[in-house]
């Protein structure tokens, strides 16, 4: 696995974790934004 792919996987993981924490804190709009960032970063893994 290349360093670039590891970086994108880490980015997706951090964005999903951030979205989950925001959702649990009650920030629903920002949680959706975190999910959108995770999806956008995951596109680079294809």
pLDDT tens digit sequence for 7-25 = 999 999 999 999 999 999 9
Q: How far is the C-alpha of 9 from the C-alpha of 25, rounded, in Å?
A: 24
Give this prediction's pTM: 0.88
pLDDT tens digit sequence for 26-41 = 999 999 999 999 999 9
Question: pLDDT category, 43, cuts 50, 70, 90?
Answer: very high
Q: How far is the C-alpha of 5 from the C-alpha of 10, rounded, in Å?
A: 9
């Amino acid at each position: 696995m290349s360093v670039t792919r590891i970086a994108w996987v880490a980015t997706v993981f951090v964005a999903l974790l951030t979205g989950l924490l925001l959702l649990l804190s009650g920030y629903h709009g920002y949680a959706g934004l975190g999910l959108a960032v995770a999806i956008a970063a995951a596109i680079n893994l294809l």
